[in-house]
């Protein structure tokens, strides 16, 4: 994901220290039930589409914007699938450290032809749910939750009787 200008401004004074950042992941489905995925330029791995909200931007708008920016597919956000604080910080090659709070949103494709639309992806493609490429657990879990007709998923708090 490209670094938004407002984060570059923060980094100018904060250096590489750990930042807690919001992230939005979009699980985009078409009318045939296929999932839209991108093969990331930074890792070479297939994954779901996502990005960081701009200040004041609603998560649903972020999902729709990021999908279009990365894939040229238009979509409509349908529902929040899950909210999850990632357990491990990410350290980027330049030394920046971030920990993400991910909001995953299920989206319905409404138009456009899937293609690489920016420099963040090497490929973009639609995949049948039963023929997904190799994916990180992060992506597989989000797709599973998006396909389930269940309430929004979240990890219970530490004091919850069902917490690990």
DSSP notation for 57-76: --HHHHHHHHHHHHH--EEE
Mean pLDDT of 76-99: 94
Q: Is 110 a member of any domain? A: yes
* 163 falls within a domain: no
Report if residue 154 sits inside a domain. Answer: no
Nearest in space to 11 (alpha carbons), one of 1, 19, 23, 22: 19
Instruction: Give the domain extent around 51.
Output: 5-148
Whether the pLDDT of residue 34 is over 50: the answer is yes
Looking at the structure of the chain, the number of domains it has is 1
Q: What are the backbone dihedrals phi and psi of residue 104, each rounded to the nearest 5 degrees, phi first?
A: -100, 135
Among 1-10, 85-94, 136-145, 147-156, the range with the most confident prediction by mean pLDDT is: 136-145
71 closest CA partner among 50, 52, 96: 50
Higher pLDDT, 48 or 152: 48
pLDDT band at 162 (very low <50, low <70, confident <90, very high): very low
Answer whether residue 163 shows pLDDT above 50: no
Please report the pLDDT score of residue 152 as a whole number. Answer: 87
Q: Is 119 within the bounds of a domain?
A: yes
Q: Is the pTM value of this prediction over 0.85?
A: yes
Residue 85: which CATH number?
A: 3.90.79.10
Any domain includes 41: yes
For residue 66, being part of any structural domain is answered with yes
Residue 13 in any domain: the answer is yes
């Amino acid at each position: 994901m490209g670094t938004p200008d407002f984060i570059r401004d923060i980094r100018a004074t904060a250096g590489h220290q750990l930042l807690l950042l919001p992230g939005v992941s979009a699980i985009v489905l078409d009318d045939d039930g296929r999932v839209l995925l991108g093969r990331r330029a930074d890792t070479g791995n297939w994954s779901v589409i996502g990005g960081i909200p701009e200040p004041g931007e609603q998560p649903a708008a972020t999902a729709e914007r990021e999908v279009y920016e990365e894939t040229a597919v238009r979509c409509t956000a349908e529902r929040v699938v899950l909210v999850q604080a990632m357990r491990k910080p990410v350290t980027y090659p330049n030394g920046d450290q971030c920990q993400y709070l991910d909001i995953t949103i299920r989206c319905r494709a409404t138009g456009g032809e899937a293609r690489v639309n920016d420099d963040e992806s090497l490929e973009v493609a639609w995949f049948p749910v039963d023929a997904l490429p190799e994916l990180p657990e992060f992506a597989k879990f989000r797709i599973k939750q998006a396909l389930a007709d269940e309430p929004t998923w979240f990890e219970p708090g530490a004091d919850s009787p069902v917490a690990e």
